[in-house]
């Protein structure tokens, strides 16, 4: 629903256009018996009236219609106005956080010990022109006989853009002798990265707060608690009722905008609810990562004529990153994303790819039907993007 605040002012009898205001001044002039008869736009009197009365009045009406009235209501409030509105329901905007998680280093062989220094940088390939970096948080040593080593790492900067899917963090700009490969696994994150909370998810939390007054035994109260964690929006929480573990029990399945919430992260939410008394008397509510549907996806990309091999490969890689974004493995593109309880349209994905990449002549998918989901989220088990002849 679109709200017309100028119409609201009109209904209250407030003139909203310059012509309406000037007509009111003229009517008042006539009612008062003024002898001024020159209605020309060059009239010194009306030029003065426009400068000192009409124009300031129009500024005031614009301020009311474009700023003051929209920010009076939760539905349309934004920025600092929304922060003030949230203060009234005891909420604060969530601050930006840096992604943290575990990277798996693979050794050339398992003979002897090997140390990964603190501060080691791990990069992604360029994604839409940007390289993302993680930095190891502490020194870690693989003992003799250990081929794999999990090392904690933190994103170089804050933000949800660092919540990348499996395999993206795979480049050591400074090679480490004895290390053959490094990568992030599917559930690599212990804490997802997050931007400072934007207006829309913050507005949804404020809206939920009105339903969470009792703070016990209902979805809104649990939603308020779960959404306190970085990266989780209120509309990314799905409840399963029907006493899945007996009377008084329910489940909450959560997702984040990019990447998959790890079990460690979800356990931290469960601990907050269970150990700190954020639950009803006798009820049993557990959080889980949103279940996933594994898909094998194949794509053939046909570029426009006369592209160099370098540009063809850049197009192929960009199309792959674009599709991965649709499946929530990065957040670098504006694209329709998969959701639970929805139909993911391949024809819409086709159109969005063509709109975004002018060098894309045609694209073929290895499946014809749309992707349907229930209480689950489609994910890529494998993605193959090839160049067509």
- Residues 181 and 247 grouped into a single domain: no
Domain boundary among 175, 191, 207: 191
Domain assignment of residue 226, given as a range: 199-289
Angstrom distance (rounded) from CA 380 to CA 197:
28
User: How many degrees, rounded to 5, is the angle at CA 166 between CA 111 and CA 355?
Assistant: 145
Could you give phi then psi for residue 121, rounded to 5 degrees?
Answer: -95, 135
- Residues 255 and 301 grouped into a single domain: no
Domain boundary among 191, 211, 236: 191
Asked whether residue 89 is domain-assigned, the answer is: no
Asked whether residue 92 is domain-assigned, the answer is: no
| Residue whose C-alpha is closest to residue 220's, from 243, 237, 232, 201 | 237
- Residues 309 and 382 grouped into a single domain: yes
Return the DSSP state at 112.
Answer: S
- Answer for the pair 65, 6: CB distance below 8 angstroms, yes or no: yes
- Residues 267 and 254 grouped into a single domain: yes
Task: Give the containing element (helix H, strand E) for 40.
Answer: none
- Residues 307 and 277 grouped into a single domain: no
- Residues 173 and 214 grouped into a single domain: no
Contact residues for 250 (Cβ-Cβ < 8 A; gap 6+): 239, 240, 241, 243, 244, 283, 284, 285
pLDDT tens per residue, the chain (389 residues)? 678 898 889 888 888 888 888 788 778 777 777 666 666 667 776 677 777 778 888 889 999 999 999 999 999 999 999 999 999 989 999 999 999 999 999 999 999 999 999 999 999 999 988 999 999 999 999 999 999 999 999 999 999 999 999 999 999 999 999 999 999 998 899 999 999 999 999 999 999 988 776 655 578 888 998 999 988 999 999 999 888 888 878 899 999 888 888 888 999 999 988 877 767 656 788 999 999 999 999 999 999 999 999 999 999 999 999 999 999 999 999 999 999 999 999 999 999 999 999 999 999 999 888 999 999 999 999 999 999 97
Long-range CB contacts (within 8 A, 24+) of 243-247: 245/284, 245/286, 246/284
Asked whether residue 61 is domain-assigned, the answer is: yes
- Residues 160 and 231 grouped into a single domain: no
Number of domains in the chain: 4
- Residues 144 and 208 grouped into a single domain: no
Task: Give the containing element (helix H, strand E) for 141.
Answer: strand 140-142
Instruction: Enumerate the H helices of 277-364 as residue ranges.
Output: 309-326, 346-356
> Which pTM was predicted?
0.81
Angstrom distance (rounded) from CA 236 to CA 254:
6
- Residues 226 and 178 grouped into a single domain: no
């Amino acid at each position: 629903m679109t709200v017309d605040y100028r119409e609201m002012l009109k209904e209250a009898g407030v003139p909203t256009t310059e012509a309406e205001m000037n007509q009111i001044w003229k009517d008042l002039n006539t009612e008062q018996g003024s002898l001024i008869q020159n209605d020309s736009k060059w009239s010194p009197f009306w030029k003065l009236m426009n400068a000192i009365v009409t124009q300031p009045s129009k500024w005031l009406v614009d301020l009311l219609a474009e700023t003051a009235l929209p920010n009076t209501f939760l539905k349309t409030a934004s920025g600092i106005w929304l922060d003030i509105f949230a203060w009234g329901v005891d909420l604060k905007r969530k601050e930006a956080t840096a992604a943290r998680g575990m990277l798996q280093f693979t050794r050339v062989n398992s003979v002897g010990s090997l140390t990964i220094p603190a501060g080691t940088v791990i990069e992604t390939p360029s994604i839409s022109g940007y390289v993302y970096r993680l930095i190891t948080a502490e020194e870690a040593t693989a003992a003799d006989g250990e081929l794999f080593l999990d090392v904690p790492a933190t994103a170089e900067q804050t933000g949800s853009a660092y919540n990348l899917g499996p395999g993206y963090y795979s480049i050591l700009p400074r090679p480490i002798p004895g290390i053959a490969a490094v990568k992030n696994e599917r559930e690599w994150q212990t804490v997802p990265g997050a931007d400072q909370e934007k207006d829309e998810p913050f507005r949804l939390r404020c809206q939920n707060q009105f339903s969470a007054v009792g703070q016990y035994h209902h979805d809104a109260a649990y939603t308020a608690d779960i959404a306190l964690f970085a990266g989780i929006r209120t509309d990314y929480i799905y409840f399963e009722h029907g006493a899945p573990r007996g009377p008084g029990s329910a489940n909450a399945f959560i997702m984040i905008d990019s990447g998959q919430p790890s079990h460690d992260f979800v356990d931290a939410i469960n601990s907050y609810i269970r150990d700190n008394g954020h639950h009803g008397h006798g009820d049993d509510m557990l959080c889980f990562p949103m279940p996933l549907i594994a898909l094998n996806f194949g794509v053939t990309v046909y570029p426009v004529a006369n592209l160099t091999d370098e540009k063809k490969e850049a197009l192929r890689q960009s199309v792959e990153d674009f599709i991965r974004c649709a499946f929530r493995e990065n957040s670098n593109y504006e694209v329709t994303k998969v959701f639970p309880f929805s139909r993911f349209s391949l024809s819409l994905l086709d159109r969005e790819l063509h709109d975004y990449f002018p060098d894309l002549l045609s694209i073929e998918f290895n499946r014809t039907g749309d992707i349907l989901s229930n209480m689950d989220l489609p994910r890529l088990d494998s993605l193959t993007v090839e160049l067509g002849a």
